[in-house]
Amino acid sequence: MKIQENDVTYVSCSFEAILNQAMYHLGHYKWEYGGPVLISKGMQEKILVTRSEDSRPMLIVVSRPCERSCEVRESALVNTLRYIS
């Protein structure tokens, strides 16, 4: 499943900026989207957090099930920010 341009909302861009700042202050952690997954209740998105680019994920955060892909990205970002706060 490919992320479309309309999946990038103002909310998700704001949460991404906050997450980038938080990861920098926590010790230069890297994060990336794991890709949306289709499940029986909708879709879910994963965020993978690593210490360096070649390492295995130290943390995998999953979003709540949503019907729209833009909501899935926002949910995954919020869950990650909640976890690290």
Q: Give the residue extent of every domain in the chain.
A: 5-84
Q: What is the pLDDT of residue 33?
A: 92
Confidence of residue 83 (pLDDT cuts 50, 70, 90): very high
Q: Report, as an integer, the average pLDDT of 20-33.
A: 90
Whether the CA torsion 75, 83, 38, 33 is positive or negative: it is: positive
Pair of tokens at residue 30: 């890297």
Q: Which pTM was predicted?
A: 0.83
Give pLDDT, residue 1: 43
How many other CB atoms are there within 10 angstroms of residue 35's CB atom? 12
**CATH number, span 5-84:** 3.30.160
Neighbours of 42 (CB within 10 A): 17
Q: Which residue has the higher pLDDT, 7 or 21?
A: 21
Mean pLDDT across the chain? 87
